[in-house]
Structure 1
């Protein structure tokens, strides 16, 4: 997870006009020789892994929704753990994004996968809802590097391990040890089986001249309201698991995804740390063409932007987020929304 801070800074800069809680990096104080428990999930990070002492514990959010811990900084084998609550809780999508970072990082010099992506059941689970893989760097100091991402309710746990001493086979076994050594909470429902992301079979067709529509109160209200709607237990039970495909070639900055069989919109996964940009058809409540709604999902809130008249290309959508102000926002897990449209504000 190498460009997390850059992506977060860019998205927050785009949202600076909104009265929202800013995300800020901070250090978490924890006794060096004792386990540290993440209050919101119950997962425990031990004082050492593979005999390597835990170093710093940090929080990119200021509210422990984006936590990381380092083990062995500067040593022959290094481990980093991430516990975060993504805007869209998809193991396959965020595994694909994290893998893209590994394959594109200069330090691994065109690393290659040692084997196919493996789906497995995380500790305490029965469904193969997690994904893992080991990679072999092309050159440089590391003999191997590995990645695993596991679901924990609406949270994800990611493990990154790189070694100058273990080959791919040995590192795979070490990755197992690390995963089992974490203090996993009980009582977490099984997530859907994880299906690795593949390239979409046919490309989407984007409008050549998609334009931002003038902001209006209805779009602002609808967009923020939809962000607060939660599915009922019955809807959850009847929901069909989404299989994601990757649209176009991945970039280090972002990847574009859509549900297999759907060609009406897409999700842009920014970086690899849980933030997304969504582009989907708006709701038609009158005779007018609703266009395509543009929104940003952060870890703690959703920001709604002026809609497009036609389906924009991903780079156009990213540019629109960076250059325009949100028209509304909704805090995650709450019902309150904030609206700002054309100078008219209401709360």
Structure 2
């Protein structure tokens, strides 16, 4: 059954809260640390890697990262577990891979050398994870990334080596990713795939705006709230899940590391912008249904990081990426859905709707 008792609705003016500064967790060097929501264990050692630190990049345990180093410091392993504005592993891995190319400390990554693979198991979903490894010219010889989903969490591994070639690193990364100790998630993730460039360039007209009524905001925010609820029945329709229903995406050619644009592979409509590599995603799409007979549901733009979703005034049609960015930069937030510390959801609606 849906757990809606934790939902609070406030009619008020709101401001965007500041993100917490990264904080080192006070963990003894020989102590194991467990991320309770996923069961992910960060032990003092992973194979021959020794843990250096565990840091929290957001409030609570919603974005945790840990660094491990080989005895000779020639290899570094980073492990992250975090909430995200999207749990589409294919899209989030693609954005994370592009972000790797901006890390000048590694050297120059050879994009053509990529070893790309999907992986998984019955507990998390067959072939539901993504792995990509590259040759590097510089201080490091090879680097790679593995990302998979555990319920409403993403788990990411980064491995870089100064001494082994890309084939060897990829083999080690595969073993590490398959051996991460986690609890069995409540549901399996769908198969992942490699996202390719869209085969055309597209110019979208300026989308007409649509003023949403209070009932529209209630529908939109409640849909996000239900998606946040991890006790949701497995039989609930896909429209209640966070973000659009699963379908293959292509990468818009205007994408670049730190700002990735994704379109629907069939309709070519803009779908999402992934900002950086920390799980901040902007989605655009219909709310799922309309209460007015014969009227199409409004198109709504959101910006989310897995803990907070901000919604903006609606559209009558899907806008292009330039219009999406303009709205995010220049227009006020119209509604907010936040996770609360007690596991519930707080919904904030605009006072002037």
Q: Same fold (TM over 0.5)?
A: yes
Paired with 1:28 and 1:225, the residues of 2 have a C-alpha distance of: 34
**Larger proportion of helix:** 1
The RMSD of aligned alpha carbons is 3.1
> 1:23 aligned to 6, 10, 19, which one?
19
Paired with 2:146 and 2:162, the residues of 1 have a C-alpha distance of: 19
The Cα shift of 1:145 comes to 0.4
Give the match for residue 5 of structure 2.
none
Paired with 1:198 and 1:155, the residues of 2 have a C-alpha distance of: 24
Give the match for residue 62 of structure 1.
59
Asked whether the 8 Å contact 1:122–1:130 carries over to 2, the reply is no
Tell me the alpha carbon deviations over residues 262-296 of structure 1, each in whole angstroms, 9 at most, x when there is no partner: 34541111212222111224665558887631111
29-38 or 265-274, which moves further after superposition?
265-274
324-333 or 172-181, which moves further after superposition?
172-181
5 Å matches for 1:144-223?
144-186=142-184, 189-207=187-205, 209-210=206-207, 217-223=214-220
**TM-score, scaled relative to structure 2:** 0.80
Paired with 2:19 and 2:83, the residues of 1 have a C-alpha distance of: 13
Q: 1:235 to 1:260 in 2, by over 3 A?
A: farther
Give the match for residue 6 of structure 1.
none
Asked whether the 8 Å contact 2:95–2:258 carries over to 1, the reply is no
Paired with 1:221 and 1:97, the residues of 2 have a C-alpha distance of: 31
Give the match for residue 267 of structure 1.
272
Asked if residue 321 in structure 1 is aligned to residue 328 in structure 2, the reply is yes
Tell me the alpha carbon deviations over residues 95-117 of structure 1, each in whole angstroms, 9 at most, x when there is no partner: 10011012344343242253441
Q: Which 5+ residue runs of structure 2 have no aligned equivalent?
A: 1-12
Q: 1:245 to 1:37 in 2, by over 3 A?
A: same
1:261 aligned counterpart, secondary structure:
coil
The Cα shift of 1:174 comes to 2.3
Asked if residue 255 in structure 1 is aligned to residue 260 in structure 2, the reply is yes
Paired with 1:110 and 1:248, the residues of 2 have a C-alpha distance of: 20
Q: 1:227 to 1:143 in 2, by over 3 A?
A: same
2:312 aligned counterpart, secondary structure:
strand
Give the match for residue 76 of structure 2.
78
Asked if residue 133 in structure 1 is aligned to residue 143 in structure 2, the reply is no
**TM-score, scaled relative to structure 1:** 0.81
Paired with 2:298 and 2:252, the residues of 1 have a C-alpha distance of: 21
Asked whether the 8 Å contact 2:280–2:305 carries over to 1, the reply is yes
The Cα shift of 1:119 comes to 0.8
The Cα shift of 1:72 comes to 2.4
107-116 or 280-289, which moves further after superposition?
280-289
Runs of 4+ in 1 over 6 A off after TM superposition: 237-240, 287-290
1:171 aligned counterpart, secondary structure:
helix
Aligned length: 325
Give the match for residue 38 of structure 2.
41
Asked whether the 8 Å contact 2:86–2:92 carries over to 1, the reply is no
Paired with 1:308 and 1:124, the residues of 2 have a C-alpha distance of: 40
Asked whether the 8 Å contact 1:200–1:260 carries over to 2, the reply is yes
Paired with 2:165 and 2:155, the residues of 1 have a C-alpha distance of: 24
Q: 1:288 to 1:104 in 2, by over 3 A?
A: same
Asked whether the 8 Å contact 2:151–2:185 carries over to 1, the reply is no
Q: Which 5+ residue runs of structure 1 have no aligned equivalent?
A: 1-16
Asked if residue 227 in structure 1 is aligned to residue 234 in structure 2, the reply is no
Paired with 2:172 and 2:112, the residues of 1 have a C-alpha distance of: 17
Paired with 1:248 and 1:87, the residues of 2 have a C-alpha distance of: 22
Paired with 1:113 and 1:155, the residues of 2 have a C-alpha distance of: 30
Q: 1:203 to 1:217 in 2, by over 3 A?
A: farther
Paired with 1:216 and 1:326, the residues of 2 have a C-alpha distance of: 15
Give the match for residue 304 of structure 2.
297
The Cα shift of 1:162 comes to 0.9
Give the match for residue 98 of structure 2.
100
The Cα shift of 1:213 comes to 5.4
Paired with 2:100 and 2:67, the residues of 1 have a C-alpha distance of: 17
